[in-house]
Amino acid sequence: MGREVRGGEFLSDTSSLTARLEEVFPSLSPQLRLAARYVLDAPDDIGLNSMRTVAAHAGVHPSTFVRLARELDFSGYAQFREPFRQRLRTHGDRYSDRARNLQARKIKGDASETGSLLQEVLQTGDLNLQNTLSATSAEELSDLAVLLDSARRIYIVGMRKCYPVAYYLHYAFRMFQDNVVLVNGVAATVADDLRNLQKDDVLIAIGFDAYTRGTVRATRYAASVGASVVAITDSPVSPLAEGARQTFVVANDSPSFFRSLASAMALAEAIVAYLVAEGGDAAVEHLTRTERHLEEFGTYWESDDTAVAAGGAF
């Protein structure tokens, strides 16, 4: 893939490709430099998004990326993009490595390094949200709402770091739906949770690299029985996206050792909003019953509870 350079090394992986980009960078035209700089700064974006989206992020015309690919002797942008897609399939830097990078800032004793960490977290989170929501259309969310509204049962699976997103979706859906199942795998019960999964059901699967085995197995089982799979993941080539009816790609970069969940949670909020909007009177009536039930149980704190708390009763 790509042309042969320096002793038989092919541009078939991102390390050799980026090295070649850095080598030819000074000879590129101004527009090609903008594109090349974006490739070097945001390699994941190349693998995750379409050429048009990447070009918009880089501030150049889509044809600029075609010209850049041909400058490196690729047949076209698709071939140029493949090493970045392969990188997303196989990379997975370890938590310990990312933690050491964080600690290196402090070891350097550079106050500007440690002081800029909060700003970097905020800027990265903001970019994640922009990239995620700009890649998600209102039509896709409307289609998902229709699919969920017509489902016999909705199963939601997200384990380990993705469990908060899965739990939020389950909790919010149950406020106005009775047909929601959280596949949480407590006491190794994933198989039990999925026992009644059928072709008229929908499985929402949430997972990011490194992908949890139980989540991947759940999506494959759902596909095998003909259920509709909706993947919320970090790459269009993630194992959760294989055979999915809909895939929502979420940006989750973070300077911390843990990948960010902010964009996934924002997408989950949007999904809930669209499902309520699609639900009509039935959703409102169900919400009304839920609120009444919670009030009967005294679920929420009231001002009269202050006296009880002061007396030591909890």
In a domain, 288, yes or no: yes
In a domain, 178, yes or no: yes
Of the chain, the percentage scoring pLDDT greater than 90 comes to 40
Q: 179-191: per-residue pLDDT in tens? A: 999 998 776 678 8
In a domain, 14, yes or no: yes
* Same domain flag for 141 and 275: yes
DSSP bridge partners of 155: 181, 203
Burial class (CB in 10 A: 0-12, 13-18, 19+), 187: exposed
pLDDT band per the 50, 70, 90 thresholds, residue 84: confident
* Same domain flag for 143 and 276: yes
Q: What single DSSP character describes residue 29?
A: -
| pLDDT at residue 230 greater than cutoff 80 | yes
Least reliable range by pLDDT among 27-36, 126-135, 136-145 = 126-135
| pLDDT at residue 283 greater than cutoff 90 | no
Of the chain, the percentage scoring pLDDT greater than 70 comes to 82
- Residue 49 structural domain: 4-90
Q: Please give the model's pTM, rounded to 2 decimal places.
A: 0.65
Q: 61-71: per-residue pLDDT in tens? A: 999 999 999 99
Nearest-CA neighbor of 151 among 220, 215, 240, 230?
230
Domain count, the chain: 2
- CA–CA separation, 143 and 278 (whole Å): 10
The residues near 191 (Cβ < 8 Å, ≥ 6 apart) are none
* Same domain flag for 141 and 278: yes
In a domain, 119, yes or no: no
For position 263, what pLDDT does the model report?
Answer: 93
Taking the CA atoms of 102, 104, 106 and 111 in sequence, report the sign of the dihedral they define. negative
| pLDDT at residue 86 greater than cutoff 80 | no
Q: Are 241 and 235 in contact (CB under 8 A)?
A: yes
For position 88, what pLDDT does the model report?
Answer: 62
* Same domain flag for 158 and 44: no
* Same domain flag for 140 and 198: yes
- CA–CA separation, 130 and 134 (whole Å): 6
* Same domain flag for 162 and 268: yes
pLDDT band per the 50, 70, 90 thresholds, residue 98: low
The residues near 272 (Cβ < 8 Å, ≥ 6 apart) are 169, 172, 173
- CA–CA separation, 17 and 2 (whole Å): 9
| pLDDT at residue 115 greater than cutoff 80 | no
* Same domain flag for 269 and 175: yes
* Same domain flag for 273 and 173: yes
For position 256, what pLDDT does the model report?
Answer: 73
CATH code of the domain covering residue 20: 1.10.10.10
* Same domain flag for 166 and 257: yes
CATH code of the domain covering residue 199: 3.40.50.10490
- CA–CA separation, 19 and 4 (whole Å): 13
Rounded to the nearest integer, the mean pLDDT of the chain is 82
Candidate ranges 105-114, 133-142, 232-241, 282-291; pick with highest mean pLDDT: 133-142
In a domain, 218, yes or no: yes
* Same domain flag for 68 and 209: no
In a domain, 151, yes or no: yes
Q: Are 154 and 196 in contact (CB under 8 A)?
A: no
In a domain, 312, yes or no: no
In a domain, 233, yes or no: yes
Where a domain ends, among 34, 55, 90? 90
* 126's tokens: 């903001």
* Same domain flag for 157 and 240: yes
Three-state SS for 111-172 is HHHHHCHHHHHHHHHHHHHHHHHHCCCHHHHHHHHHHHHHCCCEEEEECHHHHHHHHHHHHH
